[in-house]
Amino acid sequence: MCSVMSDHPLTLAVKIAPEVELLEAASRAGLQAVELFLSCGMLEDRRGIVKRCRSYPFRYAIHSPNDGYEPMNLAEIVDALNPEVIVFHNVYWEDEWDEIFRIFSEMKKRVCIENIFSDNEPLKFMRRYGCGKCADIEHLQLQCAGLYEEALRLAVRDAIHIHLTGYFFGSDRWHSHIHHSPEHNRRILDAIMETGYSGLVVSEARAALQTHDEFCRLRYFFTEWQKIHRDAR
């Protein structure tokens, strides 16, 4: 198993549901960080989620549910797991956003808004609430109809969290792991490093690719990229 560079500014994570099989697969693959994908239905089992996740020494991020509005239930999990960041999509009314930011500001938790349709989408929240941005590189490539490194650097420059997949424009690799497009993503990871970003880079793959074997391949690819990048410095 490849050793992880704990002093590297980028930390690899995977986005998974808080299920034992997935948490165990990520742990056995040697991953250090996880972004928990949640739904409102999952929040009904808050104690179970916390119990399961506390069994693993991951660095956590949390992706808020997109299918409803349950900020207090979400806050219970956030308080228990102390995630590094909470990711939201722009799916709420203004009064709901006011309550969301009040709750998590009082908890001193970092909130970020993910770009879905446009890289400008998080900006109004950043201005009004002082939150961060989750730079989703797959969505950025769909917006730009390709990869433009200048736009990529601008998108990542003020990000506090990053989602990355194996997708490149025109491909069929939507929501595949980073290692499914190795040359493309070495270029992207190099560009991310050039911005000075430090934090989690989340490989966001569909459920069929959330397996121990895929996680091992992902970790190997990322660790090898880290070695190459270190040796080039």
Taking the chain (233 residues) in runs of 10, the rounded mean pLDDT of each run is 64 98 98 98 97 98 97 98 98 97 97 94 96 96 85 90 95 95 96 95 97 98 89 57
Q: How confident is the model at residue 5, as a pLDDT? A: 52
Q: Specify if 1 maps to a domain.
A: no
Query: Given phi > 0 = left and psi -120 to 50 = alpha, else beta, which region is 196?
Result: left
Q: Specify if 88 maps to a domain.
A: yes
- d(CA 167, CA 176) in angstroms, rounded, equals 7
Q: Specify if 122 maps to a domain.
A: yes
Q: Specify if 112 maps to a domain.
A: yes
**CATH code, domain carrying 205:** 3.20.20.150
Q: Specify if 3 maps to a domain.
A: no
Q: How confident is the model at residue 206, as a pLDDT? A: 96
pTM of the model: 0.94
Q: Specify if 100 maps to a domain.
A: yes
Q: Specify if 4 maps to a domain.
A: no
- d(CA 54, CA 67) in angstroms, rounded, equals 25
Q: How confident is the model at residue 52, as a pLDDT? A: 98
Q: Which domain holds residue 194?
A: 10-232
Q: How confident is the model at residue 231, as a pLDDT? A: 59
First vs last Cα of the chain: how many Å apart?
A: 24
Q: Specify if 177 maps to a domain.
A: yes
Domains of the chain: total: 1
- DSSP characters over 120-158: TTTHHHHHHH--EEEEEHHHHHHHHTS--HHHHHHHHHT
- d(CA 131, CA 109) in angstroms, rounded, equals 10
